Structure 1
Amino acid sequence: MKQILTHKTSVFGCFFILIILGGCVKNEIANLDSQGKNIICFGDSLTFGYGVNPDEAYPSILARLVDRPVINAGVNGNTSAQGLVRIKNDVLAKEPFLVIIEFGGNDFLSKIPTSQTASNIEKMIKIIQEGKAIAAVVDISSGPFLSEYKSLYRQICRRQKAIFIPDVF
């Protein structure tokens, strides 16, 4: 399991770099001219790196692949509502260039309606973009239980001019 997670985080890092370097058309993504300094990985235990060594968490792998500081702002057990509460201190206060949003798994486990999770993700994107940073949302869908999130997150990203990173898990 640990090898699979490490492989998937490496694939995610490479995929992410391809998106940033060439996969985005300027008018499709908001704030590509961001003057921020840091990449903020903002999410729950998947971002934090629960179950793997700290250097195997995707923010650590990403930090080795890019030429910008990467900050891991993942908190085990967080829901999207809890992420909204901490977005000012954990994201906006850190001079973000790009914020990678990864929430939803704990919402699902807590039986929070997908519509509420989607609303929270959309609010996060708006807050991040108002702070002049690029917003990216990670597809958390894995198997039949979370498949609804994929289409919701993709629609939100298209509407809000954010990056959607599909098929990570």
Structure 2
Amino acid sequence: MTALLLALALLAGAVQAAESRTVLVLGDSLSAAYGLAPEQGWVALTAEKLQARYPGWRVANASVSGETTAGGASRIAGELARHKPAVVVVELGANDGLRGLPLEHTRANLEKIILASRESGARVLLVGMRLPPNFGPQYTQGFERNYVELAEAHGAALLPFLLEPIASDREAFQADNLHPVAEAQPRLRDHVWPALEPLLK
């Protein structure tokens, strides 16, 4: 009887593992909870909401502070192999923009990430960013257009601007005026969720 119960428990565990599905978040400091405890970030808060509403799902946060699209493009194959995600959330580009890197390079790197994710069988949510106006209209508009055009070209879901709910609220940011405070993270989670949830079904 003990052996039978053990075998049934092992089988149940194997079935549960097989049914478990992963959302991979590939982002920069905005997704890596810069300046906060990891559990305070919007990604961790999303993971909690995901487990409550969709128990068969989990979140793997592969975000790295300071990451550029080039860094993400160099890491995507390894992350896909490691986590085998059903959904990939790509939140990259802000550091490219702040450094004034060529738009065509950013676009090519994002495209590599999207294509690799799609080829692995994952659905993709592309999370965009916007730049301050001091970068000039040509660069800022081209930067935003990259996300829109890539999402359309490759059938990815698009959230145009991660920080939209808090962008005009100075109190929502840390002293660097770049990274959101802990109190703002639930607003980011709730902003991302409507774009993410359809990809889980």
TM (normalized to structure 2)?
A: 0.62
The one of 124, 127, 130 aligned to 1:138: 127
How far apart, CA to CA, are the structure 1 residues paired with 2:118 and 2:102? 25
Kindly state the Cα deviation for residue 84 of structure 1 after the two structures are TM-superposed.
1.0
Alignment pair present for 1:149 and 2:143: yes
Gaps of 5+ in 1: 1-34
> Larger relative contact order (C-alpha < 8 A, sep ≥ 6)?
1
How far apart, CA to CA, are the structure 1 residues paired with 2:44 and 2:131? 22
How far apart, CA to CA, are the structure 2 residues paired with 1:69 and 1:60? 10
1:106 maps to what in 2? Answer: 95
CA deviation vs aligned residue, 1:65-120 (integer Å, no higher than 9, x gap): 11210011001111111111111222332010100001111112333111110111
Judged with a 3 Å threshold, the aligned counterparts in structure 2 of structure 1 residues 143 and 98 are, in CA distance, closer, same or farther, namely: same
How far apart, CA to CA, are the structure 2 residues paired with 1:117 and 1:96? 23
Kindly state the Cα deviation for residue 51 of structure 1 after the two structures are TM-superposed.
1.8
Kindly state the Cα deviation for residue 148 of structure 1 after the two structures are TM-superposed.
3.3
Equivalences, count: 135
In 1, are the aligned partners of 2:98 and 2:131 still within 8 Å (CA)?
no
CA RMSD of superposed structures (Å): 1.8
Gaps of 5+ in 2: 1-18, 164-201
Alignment pair present for 1:159 and 2:153: yes
Identity %: 29
**Shift >4 Å, 4+ stretches:** none
The one of 66, 69, 76 aligned to 1:77: 66
Q: Bigger radius of gyration, 1 or 2?
A: 2
How far apart, CA to CA, are the structure 1 residues paired with 2:27 and 2:111? 14
Secondary structure at 2:65's aligned position in 1? coil
Judged with a 3 Å threshold, the aligned counterparts in structure 2 of structure 1 residues 121 and 79 are, in CA distance, closer, same or farther, namely: same
